[in-house]
Amino acid sequence: AQSVSQHNHHVILSEAASLELGCNYSYGGTVNLFWYVQYPGQHLQLLLKYFSGDPLVKGIKGFEAEFIKSKFSFNLRKPSVQWSDTAEYFCAVSYTGGFKTIFGAGTRLFVKA
């Protein structure tokens, strides 16, 4: 079955630290890749997406992600986190031609001020 694996369930960082959240998906064809973020008390919203082209994609609030096809990975990065980045982050994959999007279990990030 298709699946998405997020490497860390909980991450605690100090402000200004660099962030990298791992995401791997199972092999299955041509993929569309997403990172969503859920701030406390808010709905899930799109952080960034990859469909094709440049494997390094930039999203909102200084986040970026790199698609490495050979590793089936789509890791999320931010060079310097802020307290306001405290949230839960979900990696997600959909397969071209399909209806479903498969979500990872989520990573809870807590940034200490």
Residues that bind other proteins (CB under 8 A): 6, 9, 32, 34, 36, 42-46, 49, 51, 90, 94-101, 103-106
Query: 14 in helix, strand or coil?
Result: strand
Nearer to other proteins, 26 or 45 (CB): 45
Shortest Å distance, C-beta 57 to other proteins = 13
By the 8 A CB rule, do 47 and 76 touch?
yes
Residue 53 vs 113, nearer CB to other proteins: 53
Count of Cβ atoms closer than 10 Å to residue 85 Cβ: 20
Q: With respect to other proteins, which residue has the nearer C-beta, 49 or 77?
A: 49
Q: How far is CA 21 from CA 15, 72, 97, 100, 108, in A?
A: 16, 14, 27, 23, 10
> Which CB sits closer to other proteins, 3 or 82?
3
The tokens of 101 are what?
């999007």
CB of 13 to other proteins, least distance (A): 20
CA angle, 54 then 22 then 44, to 5°: 85
Closest CB 94 distance from other proteins, rounded Å: 4
CB of 15 to other proteins, least distance (A): 25
